[in-house]
Amino acid sequence: MNQIRPIRTHIGLGDTIIQAGLFVELYKREGPIAIPAYYKYAHSVRSIFKNYPQIEVYTLPHENGWDFGSPPDTIYDEYQSKAGYDTKNEIRLGVYHSDIGEDFTKSFYRQSDVDYSKRWDSDPTPIAATLYDIQWEWINRINRHLIHDDLERGYKITKMVNRNICATAGGNYPMAGSILSYSNLIKTARKICVIDSCFFHLVESLYEYLDPECDLQLHQYARWPRRMDFRFESKLNWNYIK
């Protein structure tokens, strides 16, 4: 058995981006750790932690009917055992911990006794995005408006946008390896429209690089599994569209 401590937590891609600064702090405090990622997100997750070889990424399968946030415990048990991790000292976060609040983004940090400011202060995403060498560029007919929603799961942005002249992440601008391939678009966009998803959290990670005049819209009506008056702590001035 190796001495790497595995983490059991929410592993949607947005969840990983939220926890990126936390994982860096945990590695500094606990030593080498292993963080989980679904196969489909593995390249994105590894690209975010490229500069942290002490943070290993172990991959898990995903099947229809499973929550995108986390797989069954039996899957975690199987894959951690195969990797030979120090499962007796596993770190559990999110729903695997006894304390989770309405703002789940803060729960991960509170459960680990890490100040929430480290979400941004220790976030490896901005540097990793700068170094990622595959980047989308704006094409002439696009008006520097960027959209990300999730049509496959029925979460569609329909208000205050003209989709015919927008860059749609996952649509006319498909994923090019890593989610970091959209970093240049995010940094230079004039308008960004997102749902409560990985793109919302990626934009937050890149807050220092955004055009200060960029119109930032979070479309609640498309996906919002919480009170309508709830607001995330943020570095940016988001317009919540109901």
DSSP states of 124-149 as a string? SHHHHHHH--------TT--SEEEE-
pLDDT tens figures, 110-138: 999 999 999 999 999 999 999 999 999 99
- Residue 78, class by beta-carbon neighbours within 10 Å (0-12 exposed, 13-18 middle, 19+ buried)? middle
pLDDT level of residue 2 (50, 70, 90 thresholds): confident
Fold of 5-128: Rossmann fold (3.40.50)
Contact (Cβ atoms closer than 8 angstroms) between residue 15 and residue 36: no
pLDDT at residue 213, rounded to an integer? 96
pLDDT at residue 61, rounded to an integer? 94
Q: What are phi and psi of 8, to 5 degrees?
A: -115, 115
- Per DSSP, 4 falls in state P
pLDDT level of residue 75 (50, 70, 90 thresholds): very high
Segments of the chain assigned to CATH 3.40.50: 5-128
CA-to-CA distance for 114 and 109, rounded, in angstroms?
5
pLDDT tens figures, 164-207: 889 999 999 998 789 999 999 999 999 999 999 999 999 999 99
pLDDT at residue 1, rounded to an integer? 55
Contact (Cβ atoms closer than 8 angstroms) between residue 94 and residue 40: no
As a whole number, the mean pLDDT across the chain is: 94
* pTM summary value: 0.95
In the Cβ-directed half-sphere of 132, how many Cα atoms lie within 13 Å?
26
